[in-house]
Structure 1
Amino acid sequence: MTEKEKMLAGEPYFSFGEELANERLHAKEVLFEFNGMAPSKVDERHALLRGLFGSVGSRFYVEPPFRCDYGYNIHWGEGSYANYNLVILDCNRVTIGDQVLIGPNVSIYTAGHPLDPVTRAQDIEFALPVTIGNRVWIGGGAILNPGVTIGDNTVIGAGSVVTKDIPANVVAVGNPCRVLREIRPEEIGNGPRG
């Protein structure tokens, strides 16, 4: 099993092998171009992300600056939006559903490191997938940790640190992020219309 195969399987892997280092370098080169383009070059910027991401909806928007490790593990849903300074450590699959809103300075981490300092010093890490359902809103400054799933329609409060799965149709906040309350039926579909 290659280090990349181990990484994608959620197994411990050596993160500085040649294949993975070259793939991270490629992503950095693409994002250097993406982040340096003029604000009016929206189509050109998004063409770069279409080539970098594993899959992407026909309509999407990512504000620069944006950073990720590989890009090909990111699967970006239809009509989803990310504000400034999104960081995705996509050492494993990151699924972003349809019509997701991501606030500024959000971090999504699939990468983790062993608790054992001897193993950690050998550049061994692991990665677990992150899944964000449809119509989720993630408030600014939130952090999503490896292996979490956020259910459809959920709101994650600004500054929250998500360390475990959050169900659908709730408002969740805090560090660690916890369900504050359910979204009431009368709150669904009654927002302003444009």
Structure 2
Amino acid sequence: MREPIGVIVLAAGQGERFRQVAGADKDKLLADCTGRDGAVRSVIEHVLVSLPATLDKRLLVTTADRPQVIRMAQAYGFEVVLIESTGMGDSIAAGVAACPQLGGWVIVLGDMPFILPSSIERVLAGMADDAINVLVHDGEYGHPVGFAGSFGPALMALSGDRGARPLFALARVIEVVVDDPGVLRDVDVPGALVFV
């Protein structure tokens, strides 16, 4: 696929499970996290630094009540799309609607700081005109997921909390097998802030 590809980082979810354990005022995206490289950064910063600078368009979708996340995204060269809803479907739809002309999108979750950059490169390298590219580790689907441009209308039609998984049943899915447990690991609770 030669057309421009964009990356959309979903960072609007409120992290209720994390807040229940850490405290109502604690944003998991800003929590200190020890990355696989041993560096301590916030969860969202680990995500942002792992993404290839070569991507044509870089977007982060979040809510207006996260000024620190917004500033960090802008510092790393991301355009910020603000939404009111925190649903994953709404976030994906808003991100794709902000750059519908692209040849495809890689959807990245803002609370997955342990994905190896090489896994993200594998998603990009395998993008095809009519397919969904999904990382697989130990037989399980992981993230990020790449969608060809032909899925734009379906992605923009998503809403609420449902993500794009239902589209898998309607498409050619290319499974990209990686030896990277990080593609399955999100930060739901404070105990998940260190990769073990």
TM-score computed with the length of structure 2 as normaliser? 0.26
Relative to total residues, which structure has the larger helix share, 1 or 2? 2
TM-score computed with the length of structure 1 as normaliser? 0.26
| Higher relative contact order, chain-length normalized (CA < 8 Å, sep 6+) | 2
